[in-house]
Amino acid sequence: MKLESREDFVALMEDILQPLRPLYTPGRAGIVIGDTAAHYDQKAVLMEAFSRPLWALVPLFAGAPNTAGKGKVLDRSAQEWAQIVRSGLIHGTDPEHEEYWGDCKPFDQRFVEMAAISYGILYAPEVIWEPLSDEEKQHLVTYLNHINEYELPVCNWLMFAVLVNIALRSVGAEYRPDMLERYLNDCETFYLGDGWYQDGDSGQKDYYVSFALHFYNMIYADRCKEQDPERANLLQERACEFAKQFVTWFDEDGAAIPYGRSLTYRFSQVAFFSACVLTGLEPLPLPVMKGLIVRHLQDWLTYPIFDRDHVLTIGFGYPNLVMAERYNAPGSPYWAMKTFAILALPAEHPFWKAEAAPLPDLRGRHALPYADMYVYHYGNHTTGFVPGKYSPKGHGQLPAKYGKFAYDSGFGVSMAKSCYELHENCPDCMLAFVINDYTYVRRICEAYRILENGVYSRWSPYPGITVETTVIPNENGHVRTHRIHSEIACVAYDCGFAVSRDEERYQTDVKEGRAVAMNTFSCCEVSGNTTCRGEIINADPNTNLWQNKTVIPAVKYEIIVGESELTTSVAASFQRKKK
């Protein structure tokens, strides 16, 4: 799909959102997309489905031309969207209406969805706010202010309250300046260095740093630079620092490393750069950022991420509930629409005229100490090597999303279905210990360092077993060295990347101490330098995020009681399929 002009991007946005129109509730305060559940109540599910398309619709409204005395001039489709949005806001915040979104409580999902509504007030008040009656405005103000009355998780959620308060302030409505300052100061404690934050008390460094903390900080800086110039400048400087490191998470075809939670938000992976363009930051040349955004979207559009009605699904490269978090409701994937922040740019903005440029040459090593990651660019795929440090508190599949040795933009990553059978555990890029028929992987990271040439971690998969692992990437893949102290005799499988077995020319080769899986576009070979046996693990279908049928090449080691040292080499090559 051609993506050059604003019209091209509007057409893509419409293509994604139009299928939702017949699914709106009569009062337009919700969208009934599917029957799967999240941990929050159904009214919050409906509110979420209503709000997430706003991440694209608000920029659509904001980027419409202004006509003297007439305000924003919307085309027919945009006018229809505006009517839908206003109807939803009116009915969702009216306690007497049957589609009222419901009362709030501590840690409420409704607070998450208030961010997109605040985005609308900040960037398109002529469409979102001004047409409302005084009573309707008061209902909306009262509803949004609930975020100032209840406890929030100590993480990126604090920025939802920041957006609500600056949005209300921007239209002269009641807000809480004390809470605004408190939450801004609290978020400051998340900052680490080199532009990196951690996501609050979880300590995680994943896409929430880019599409949440930085995204909202850039909005704050853009909308509040007159009231708070010192903080605005600081936040913009940090975003520019971060961009130069975060760009290494992408490969030359636009795909990003599938790492961490909320991967079902898919092309929101590049939303940080859209926010940079929206707010006038150029940490990378404008043509480079455009090229990255364009290629990222085009790459995603080659995958079956929509259902037969062209509605976004829960999943990653295809519909997949195995990888979902407990907070993934049917409307959740539309967080991806954040990437359409660029639609707020007027038609004459240089972004639309810029030629999409390739990434700078990133081949080779990139140590990102504040991200707890070491990135290696191989030319046509990118691998992030991590120590497996993550919070024990989570929402599902934490060992798979944070605990593997490597995460690759081409090979993807596999999710466990159980810990009982090896083929159900799918421990790609893990050292998996099998004890009493159960599979144990890197669950507790006791210590770690990002080295000049790789990653070190000390971890335990099971009581009585301690492993010290050093992973060193090279131009062919990487080498893992494991020093193991075990009080238990058992077996362990050192596993490579998952390779699709549903492709032409798929084949495997197993020899003593070596296993290879390959197809027309990818190959992974795993070999050990001590006594071991090559194995091919037939992973359960629908466990890998990119490919729905895979095998995992591995070598099997006998683990003795006492001390042992294993060295495993993983060679990987990848060439993206052209679809």
Report the pLDDT value the prediction gives residue 503, as an integer from 0 to 100: 76
Torsion, Cα 203 209 211 216, to 10 degrees, reads: 100
Q: State yes or no: pLDDT of 335 exceeds 70.
A: yes
Sketch out the chain's domains with CATH numbers: 6-350 (1.50.10.10), 364-574 (2.70.98.70)
Q: State how far the Cα of 539 lies from the Cα of 552, in Å rounded to an integer.
A: 7
> Taking the mean position of all CA atoms in its chain, how far away is CA 314?
13
Digit-coded pLDDT (tens) for 407-450: 999 999 999 999 999 999 999 999 999 999 999 999 889 999 99
Q: What is the pLDDT of residue 444?
A: 80
Q: Cβ(354)–Cβ(305) under 8 Å?
A: no
Query: In this structure, how many other beta carbons lie within 10 angstroms of the beta carbon of residue 509?
Result: 13
- Contact, 280 vs 222, CB < 8 A? yes
Flag the least confident range among 8-17, 20-29, 496-505.
Answer: 496-505
What is the band of 510 on the pLDDT scale with cuts at 50, 70, 90?
very high
What pLDDT does 66 receive? Answer: 81
For residue 559, give both structure tokens: 């683990």
DSSP state of 247: G
pLDDT of residue 369: 97
Flag whether pLDDT at 38 surpasses 80.
Answer: yes
Q: What span, in angstroms and rounded, lies between the C-alpha atoms of 47 and 331?
A: 9
Closest C-alpha among 83, 84, 95, 85 to residue 143: 95
The dihedral built from the CA positions of residue 310, 315, 321 and 327, taken in this order, carries a sign that is: negative
353 pLDDT above the threshold of 60: yes
Q: Convert the pLDDT of each residue in 532-551 to its tens digit.
A: 999 999 999 999 999 999 99
At 410, give phi and psi (nearest 5°).
-100, -45
Buried b (16+ CB within 10 A) or exposed e, 414-447: bbbbebeebbebbbbbbbbbbbeeebbbbebbee
CA atoms within 13 A on the CB side of 448: 25
For residues 116-123, average pLDDT? 98
CB burial of 351-390 (b: ≥16 within 10 Å; e: otherwise) equals bbebebbebeebeebbbbebbbbbbbbbebbbbbbbbbbb
Q: Is the pLDDT of residue 530 over 90?
A: no
Which has the minimum average pLDDT: 249-253, 306-310, 389-393?
389-393
Q: Are 524 and 410 in contact (CB under 8 A)?
A: no
**pLDDT of 395:** 84
pLDDT band per the 50, 70, 90 thresholds, residue 227: very high
Structure letter (DSSP) for residue 450: E
Mean pLDDT of the region 473-488: 97
Burial label, 407 (beta-carbon count in 10 A; 0-12, 13-18, 19+) = buried
Q: Is pLDDT of 387 > 60?
A: yes
% pLDDT > 70, the chain: 99
Helical axes 158-170 vs 177-188, angle rounded to 10°: 140
User: Would you state the pLDDT for residue 502?
Assistant: 80
Angle (CA) 410-413-417 rounded to 5° is 150
Q: 80 CB contacts (<8 Å, ≥6 apart)?
A: none
Helix/strand/coil percentages in the chain, nearest 5: 35, 25, 40
Contact between 222 and 278 under an 8 Å Cβ cutoff? The reply is: yes
What confidence score (pLDDT) does residue 35 get?
94
pLDDT of residue 71: 73
Burial (Cβ within 10 Å: 0-12, 13-18, ≥19) of residue 77: middle
pLDDT for the residue 505: 86
Identify the CA nearest to 116 among candidates 293, 335, 270: 335
pLDDT of residue 531: 87
pLDDT for residue 68: 63
- What band does 1 get if pLDDT is binned at 50, 70 and 90? confident
- Least confident range from 161-165, 387-391, 403-407, 557-561: namely 387-391
Of 523, 559, 552, the closest CA to residue 535 belongs to 552
Work out the percent of the chain whose per-residue pLDDT is above 90: 93
| 544 CB-contact burial (10 Å; exposed 0-12 / middle 13-18 / buried 19+) | buried
Residue 136 has what DSSP assignment? H
| Closest to 197 in 3D by CA, of 232, 149, 246, 250 | 246
Q: Amino acid letter at 41? A: D
Which structure tokens are listed for 525?
A: 């070979």
Measured CA to CA in angstroms, residue 518 lies from 151, 410, 499, 552 at distances of: 51, 13, 7, 10
pLDDT at position 579, please?
A: 53
> What's the sign of the alpha-carbon dihedral 506, 576, 404, 314?
negative
Indicate the helix (H) or strand (E) that contains 245. helix 229-246
The predicted model gives 364-387 an average pLDDT of 96
Mean pLDDT of the 244-264 span: 97
State the burial class of residue 217 (Cβ atoms within 10 Å of its Cβ: 0-12, 13-18, 19+): buried
Of 393, 579, 412, whose CA–CA distance to 496 is shortest?
412
